Structure 1
Amino acid sequence: MDPAITTNPASSNPSIASESVQQDPSPNRSRTASDTSWSDDAGHPEAHHPDLRTEPLRGMLSELFSENIAAKVCRTGAKYLHTNSGSTGLLEIPQAFPEIVPQEGPSAGQWELRDADFWTCGFFPGTLYCLLERSMKYPHMMGLDGPRPKQSLVKLRAQLASLSKTWSWPLHGMAKRTDTHDIGFIIMPALRREWELTGDERSLQSIVQAARSLATRYVPSAGAIRSWDCLLKKDITVTDMDENLLVIIDSLCNLDLLFYASAHSGDGTLSSVAASHARTMLKTHLRPEPTTSLAKGRYRGQLYSTCHVANLDPASGALKWRRTAQGYSDDSTWARGQAWAILGYTQTYMWTKDRDFLEASCGAAEYFLQRLENSPRSVEMATRSQDPDCDKEFRKSFQRGRFTPLWDFDAPVDDENPLRDSSAGAIAANGMIILSQALNGIHDTELARRFREAALNIAHDVLDVSLAEETAQFCSGENGSPAIEDVKPGHTFEALLKNGTANNNENARRRYFDHGLVYGDYYMVEFGNRLLDLGLI
């Protein structure tokens, strides 16, 4: 990589300490041993963002638990079920699933759907189940506590249960698919919760079947699961599977399926395959960066950027080349790819307790934060927070935008309108909040605090920058039945978040960006549930 990119000089942001980054004199150094990688747990956390110590989290993140969240998701579930379904004789089931909401053009504000076999199909059912879970475990956090609520909790829970079951129904039929590594994304967001909330044995059976289907894509000689069967772009075509084994960074987040199914079925082969794949990717996808952090409370081990696509020799596992399919360039750091690495390696550590995976996650997370902190000043915007619990001095001092990631950390930046990827922020926030739990588990409370506060800052900033201003609410419909309306009539944006970037690579066969993204919404709602489970809200 270009040294001008990887050395990360101190940010012009005055809150970033200039001594926090130094050049490593040995670019090819081995990975730092764990006894020197962790922070000094001396109880001296660096107050990089003092707002988290003075502002109530419920106030900071109030929009994540507002009526708008449930209203929008329920409206989408009902609307697109009625306009996009086929009958099984017993119930209507969806034929296509929400993917993006354009911010401009003829379909601006409305979900565009993808066929049910597309890799994103599990995220909208997963969002429904996230809200059903919240309504069952934390009913007071559904945003229905106004003086005259227009929707009762009992009716909302019943609606969520019905929509969740209906939208997840087609996912069961995909469990035997062996043509995709994305079966984890397809199955786990909804069916794991369906199993855990309802005890539906069919859901568990589908999870185990899906894991066994994914395991068929494992290539033992290379120690890796094949992600893609081919790569088709304007500048490259790869189709020969005998000579090529394509593995992408996203695949780390499909390993949770294998570990979960192994735990429930007793099939140790599934967890062994997952661990082998994750270990191979330590060598193929992590790029050691010649920077480190000296500031207290930060991770002091090896930092890593990530590549998107690695091509391995199927016979030996040797790395043939690295490229990007969705990022700016082959040697740039695609923000969502970096976020996938943080979440995937943290989940893998939580299952295996292997310190190599924990160090990989810490190195990827610290590098992600370093790139956020050192982004150009043009990413910052005046705050729009109207939270009544938010202190005036805090609103005055906080510049939103720094922690809503650019779509690629090395892409040229439009100073007037920087292209971001809000989904990368939502994914990274989930990874870092789990990472903080992992670090608390080994009693590194200072570093745990670092990543917990970073996760909260990212989530707060993404909401402040990218939460659609076009909100929805429950109302009384015909004959007093519950209905949903725009808070401002005629102003509709069906996704929760804007500013997602699915694929802005110049050689992609489909290039689309700056829109709502179904997985951005899913991971943001899931993050809220994680905070509730941890007792942080």
Structure 2
Amino acid sequence: MKSRTFFTLVFIFLVSIGCFSCKTTATDDFPVDSEIAYCRSQAMRTLVSIPSLDKIPNSMDLDSIKWRYTQAGSWTCGFWPGILWYLYEDTKDNMWREAAGKVTDMIAPLAYRKAKSHDSGFIMMCSLGNGYRLTGKPEYKEGLLHAADSLAMLYNPVVGTILSWPGMVKKENWPHNTIIDNMMNLELLFWAARNGGGQYLYDIACKHAETTMKHQFRKDYSCYHVAVYDTLDGHFMKGVTHQGLSDDSMWARGQAWAIYGYTMVYRETHDVRFLDFARKVSDVYLSRLPEDMIPYWDFNAPELSSGEPKDASAAAITASALLELSTYINDSDSASFYRNKAVEMLQILSSPAYQARNKKDAFLLHSVGHMNKGWEVDASISYADYYYLEALVRLKRLKEKQSVLANL
């Protein structure tokens, strides 16, 4: 493990060379390199502050400057090592590789456990997935393949989707429940199918996306957080919420998961149905944004009061997704539209209103984890930081005329 003194010296060096951002307003002049450098300096501050590398930063409450840590196995545990892997990718500095590897190696044994929920994709792709594509370490590949097989065990062929929350079957009387977040975890199945895991994983991922597309969205293409299905004949019973304002509202992060998820499914399948759907779920999100491009935690929340919190995490997820989506659209005007919207979101997220800067060691302020339970409300959260950095890395690649995606 690197010594605290070493991390401190490197942090001082980064600050001394001017890694904090110089803001501009013109979209074409967005200073992506300096924003990535800002993330690098903030991550270094976190490395300096945490007691040891086996601590996984998760969130900071609004009035706190100290990280709350999470355990290996929580759905958010992969985001911190994912951030470290992105910083290694950008800098090629082995300091970041070593830090990322230590946390990833701590998470890796989880790949061999029985999947307890749909979250395997979040955990494994951010940590082992990024680690494998950057290092080729065979142990990471083996772990990803095992995790995909375990996730596939939650698939119900009668329904045509993966069971998201086994614990909610009895607790909420949701016989087979699928949350929109689950679209993100299909990436693990697609990856495994491409890397020796078997065609059945691809087929499960496709069927899940098709069934979700058919049942989990309203006529305006906004999504239900949870789709509940009958296990006897697989019919769709109802759409409800768990983290949104109401069953009929548009929970911001849920819609962001849908945008990202269907963009990724098109990437993996080249099925134009999914590209068309990704655009539709993006368009309803964009059409309802407030002026500053950062959604309220739920798009219907302003009906309650003007003081409802925003959700920077939804904006970061969406910005990253729209950058990728823009590269799949042949019409140049439409492609530019989505790319420009993503950059506008990144401009706002990179402003003093949303960057943590000297206030905290996190990248961003003002995200919402679980409003209904009062968890992580108006907080800094690891997945907001992860997708913010991912969006910046993707934008940098586009500006350099490279593929939006690194070697997947």
For the aligned pair, the TM-score class normalised by the smaller chain equals 0.7 to 0.9
Mark the CA change 1:277 to 1:416 in structure 2 (over 3 Å): closer, same or farther.
Answer: closer
Per the alignment, residue 185 of structure 1 pairs with 122
Q: Is the 8 A contact 2:224 2:248 kept in 1?
A: yes
Deviations along 1:446-494, whole A, 9 cap, x unmatched?
21111111111111112225433433xxxxxxxxxxxxxxxxxxxx412
Residue 103 (str. 1) matches residue 74 (str. 2): no
Whole-angstrom distance in 2 between the partners of 1:358 and 1:331: 25
Aligned with residue 456 of structure 1, among 333, 336, 343 = 343
Q: Does the residue aligned with 2:249 lie in a helix, a strand or coil?
A: coil
Per the alignment, residue 263 of structure 2 pairs with 346
Per the alignment, residue 8 of structure 1 pairs with none
Residue 250 (str. 1) matches residue 181 (str. 2): yes
Matches within 5 A, 1:322-333: 322-333=239-250
Deviation at 1:237, TM superposition (A): 3.3
Per the alignment, residue 36 of structure 2 pairs with 65
Residue 74 (str. 1) matches residue 44 (str. 2): yes
Q: Is the 8 A contact 1:345 1:361 kept in 2?
A: yes
Q: Is the 8 A contact 2:301 2:308 kept in 1?
A: no
Matches within 5 A, 1:7-18: none
Deviations along 1:344-398, whole A, 9 cap, x unmatched?
00000110011221111101101110001xx3xxxx5xxxxxxxxxxxxxxxxxx
What are structure 1's unaligned runs of at least 5 residues? 1-50, 83-92, 137-156, 290-303, 381-401, 472-491
Per the alignment, residue 98 of structure 2 pairs with 162
Q: Does the residue aligned with 1:460 lie in a helix, a strand or coil?
A: helix
Deviation at 1:413, TM superposition (A): 5.7
Whole-angstrom distance in 2 between the partners of 1:58 and 1:97: 31
What are structure 2's unaligned runs of at least 5 residues? 1-23, 402-408
Q: Could you tell me which amino acid in structure 1 is paired with residue 69 of structure 2? A: L
Mark the CA change 1:465 to 1:428 in structure 2 (over 3 Å): closer, same or farther.
Answer: farther
Q: Could you tell me which amino acid in structure 2 is paired with residue 226 of structure 1? A: L
Q: Is the 8 A contact 1:468 1:493 kept in 2?
A: no
Per the alignment, residue 309 of structure 1 pairs with 226
Whole-angstrom distance in 2 between the partners of 1:366 and 1:225: 26
Aligned with residue 222 of structure 1, among 143, 159, 165 = 159
Q: Does the residue aligned with 1:534 lie in a helix, a strand or coil?
A: helix
Matches within 5 A, 1:95-494: 96-104=55-63, 108-136=64-92, 157-177=93-113, 178-231=115-168, 237-238=171-172, 244-265=175-196, 267-289=198-220, 304-372=221-289, 375=290, 402-412=292-302, 417-439=307-329, 443-464=330-351, 466-471=353-358, 492-494=359-361
**TM-score scaled by length of structure 2:** 0.87
Whole-angstrom distance in 2 between the partners of 1:350 and 1:131: 24
Q: Is the 8 A contact 2:217 2:224 kept in 1?
A: yes
Q: Is the 8 A contact 1:74 1:160 kept in 2?
A: no
Mark the CA change 1:169 to 1:266 in structure 2 (over 3 Å): closer, same or farther.
Answer: closer
Mark the CA change 1:450 to 1:216 in structure 2 (over 3 Å): closer, same or farther.
Answer: same
Aligned with residue 532 of structure 1, among 378, 396, 405 = 396
User: Bigger relative contact order, structure 1 or 2, given CA contacts below 8 A and separation 6+?
Assistant: 1
Deviation at 1:416, TM superposition (A): 6.2
Whole-angstrom distance in 2 between the partners of 1:512 and 1:199: 35
Whole-angstrom distance in 2 between the partners of 1:414 and 1:313: 33
**TM-score scaled by length of structure 1:** 0.67
Q: Is the 8 A contact 2:61 2:376 kept in 1?
A: no
Deviation at 1:161, TM superposition (A): 1.4
Greater share of residues in helix? 2
Counting matched residue pairs gives 377
Per the alignment, residue 377 of structure 2 pairs with 513
Whole-angstrom distance in 2 between the partners of 1:333 and 1:445: 29
Q: Is the 8 A contact 1:57 1:536 kept in 2?
A: no
| Percent of aligned pairs with the same amino acid | 32
Greater share of residues in strand? 1
Q: Could you tell me which amino acid in structure 2 is paired with residue 324 of structure 1? A: T
Deviation at 1:431, TM superposition (A): 1.1
Q: Could you tell me which amino acid in structure 2 is paired with residue 283 of structure 1? A: K
Deviations along 1:378-432, whole A, 9 cap, x unmatched?
xx5xxxxxxxxxxxxxxxxxxxxx2111111001368764410000000001111
Residue 502 (str. 1) matches residue 372 (str. 2): no
Mark the CA change 1:209 to 1:78 in structure 2 (over 3 Å): closer, same or farther.
Answer: farther
Deviation at 1:72, TM superposition (A): 1.9
Q: Is the 8 A contact 2:30 2:347 kept in 1?
A: no
Please tell me the root mean square deviation across aligned C-alpha atoms, in Å.
Answer: 2.1
Per the alignment, residue 475 of structure 1 pairs with none
Whole-angstrom distance in 2 between the partners of 1:268 and 1:305: 31
Q: Could you tell me which amino acid in structure 2 is paired with residue 310 of structure 1? A: A
Deviation at 1:260, TM superposition (A): 0.8
Q: Is the 8 A contact 1:125 1:168 kept in 2?
A: yes
Please identify the structure whose Cα radius of gyration is greater: 1
